[in-house]
Amino acid sequence: MRVLCTTLGSPSHGRAQLPLLRALSKAGHRVLVVTTEALAPVFHDDDVEVRPVLPQFDPVAVLTPHLGELQDGAALSLSSPVLPRLLTRALAGTAVKPHLDVLAPIARDFQPDLILRDGMDMAAVLTAEQLGVPQLPTPSGFSNTIEPEEVLSPLNERRRELGLPERDDPLSLVAHGRVDYVPPAYSFSRNLPPTLSYRQTVDVERHQVLPEWVVELPTDRPLVYAAIGTALPMVREHLGAGANPLPVEMPDATESLEAILGAAAELDDCTVIVSTSGLPVDTEGLPGHVRVTERVPQPLLLEAVDLFLTHGGFNSVREALRTGTPLAVMPHFGDQHTNAERVVELGLGGHITDRSARGITDMCRTLLTDPAPRARMRAARLAMLTLPDIEQAVGDLERIAG
């Protein structure tokens, strides 16, 4: 079987695809990843062909043509449902053509039997329809928040331009299903039905080990791990030094990290590891129970953590479900706000709305002393362990591809 996979957005989108692509490659199928130059390194340790030829995903460029749809000139909150709807329509509208112009010729030459796509990738939907092959989105926060009704009309416009039949069903977007790594009862997708579910893996990237300094950490107190993910620093880099042409109130990653470090200092009855994602922070004067690191293999560390203070990206949420680690979610943008709401709804942790150091500290202390989130997380982990291994996806996808 020949499988074409597309990856956009942030490195987390590619990491979510790695276990699936690895299983397909191991089974002898040929896998071609079409991605951006920035995301190509995600796949460098795996037996897949990578073509880093897609245009870099730029949310500013994608959204700018659609800003006229806003009712007034006021800045939008990143928790507003308006922004995801605008992005959804943009990705199915004006943003499709430059992507499709690159992807379609590659796909025609490769002749895939199946396309696995980034949830954001509407060009891959159209490419699959042109070739008459099935396509499925892989796990991503965008798939969780997408409203298929918002996509149907602009996609039908593109179909008319390409001479493809129009569709009446909004769920034609996922006509052959979708892949997820959580049990249906714990799904974070608001509008897409549950379908192919497999167990989230602990070892995502190859050859990962924890740094030796973790052995020296005190084990007679709770261990808290804090991280802001990779997406927010990437968005900040796109926007440039302080320039923000969008009417959107962007969070400041450095301010978030400073508040997290302030909270870590106050949690003096815990050991706290803070991952900075490479952002510079002032660590002078931090007490000894706080360990600051640029990066750490998160899925491995979560196996030994009592509380995960997180931005709430979908990769991080799934990894916490796999290890049964309660979540204190401080969302920044995108699907993270709805993920935080879903975490509370499922009883898996808390949503930090007071973003001060004191507010973060209070939420962490509440979750560390409340047995209910840990019990609920244990139930979620047990449900996760009932799912089939990712290697079972190979047979399922073979049947879909015929």
Q: Using N-to-C axis directions, what is the helix angle for 314-323 and 371-385, rounded to 10°?
A: 90
What is residue 203's predicted lDDT score, i.e. its pLDDT? 79
What is residue 176's predicted lDDT score, i.e. its pLDDT? 96
Residue 79 CB-half CA count within 13 A: 12
Confidence at 231, pLDDT banded by 50, 70, 90: low
What is residue 62's predicted lDDT score, i.e. its pLDDT? 74
> Which among 266, 179, 262, 272 has a CA at the least distance from the CA of 222?
272
Q: Which of 13-22, 237-246, 282-291 has the lowest mean pLDDT?
A: 237-246
What is residue 235's predicted lDDT score, i.e. its pLDDT? 61
CA distance 20 to 249: 36
CA dihedral 170, 11, 349, 301 (to 10 degrees): 150
Confidence at 72, pLDDT banded by 50, 70, 90: low
What is residue 350's predicted lDDT score, i.e. its pLDDT? 98
pTM > 0.85: yes
Highest mean pLDDT (candidates 60-69, 224-233, 242-251, 288-297): 288-297
Structure tokens at 253: 């990653």
Confidence at 221, pLDDT banded by 50, 70, 90: very high
Please tell me whether residue 247 adopts helix, strand or coil conformation: coil
What is residue 332's predicted lDDT score, i.e. its pLDDT? 87
Q: Which of 111-120, 171-180, 185-194, 341-350 has the lowest mean pLDDT?
A: 185-194
Q: What average pLDDT does the segment 313-328 reach?
A: 96
- Neighbour-count burial for 246-257, b at 16+ CB within 10 Å, e otherwise: bebebbebbebb
What is residue 282's predicted lDDT score, i.e. its pLDDT? 87
Q: Which of 246-255, 340-349, 386-395 has the lowest mean pLDDT?
A: 246-255
CA distance 347 to 150: 30
CA distance 31 to 185: 31
Other C-beta atoms lying within 10 Å of the C-beta of residue 21:
24
CA distance 340 to 329: 6
What is residue 90's predicted lDDT score, i.e. its pLDDT? 82
CA distance 4 to 311: 31
| pLDDT, the chain, mean | 90
Looking at per-residue confidence, does 150 or 374 come out higher? 374
Quick check: 68 pLDDT over 80? no
What is residue 241's predicted lDDT score, i.e. its pLDDT? 45
Q: DSSP states of 55-114 as a string?
A: PPP-HHHHHGGGGGGSSSSSPBPTT-THHHHHHHHHHHTTTHHHHHHHHHHHHHHH--SE
CA distance 260 to 99: 38
> Which among 174, 109, 164 has a CA at the least distance from the CA of 140?
174
Quick check: 70 pLDDT over 90? no
Q: What average pLDDT does the segment 114-129 reach?
A: 96
CA dihedral 371, 312, 84, 172 (to 10 degrees): -80
> Which among 138, 55, 60 has a CA at the least distance from the CA of 102?
55
CA distance 244 to 185: 39
Where in 141-180 does DSSP place strands (E)?
179-180
What is residue 250's predicted lDDT score, i.e. its pLDDT? 65
Other C-beta atoms lying within 10 Å of the C-beta of residue 294:
11
Quick check: 242 pLDDT over 60? no
Confidence at 114, pLDDT banded by 50, 70, 90: very high
Confidence at 334, pLDDT banded by 50, 70, 90: confident
Burial class of 353 by CB neighbour count within 10 A (0 to 12, 13 to 18, 19+): exposed
What is residue 279's predicted lDDT score, i.e. its pLDDT? 85
CA distance 281 to 295: 13
Confidence at 75, pLDDT banded by 50, 70, 90: low
CA dihedral 331, 182, 13, 129 (to 10 degrees): -120
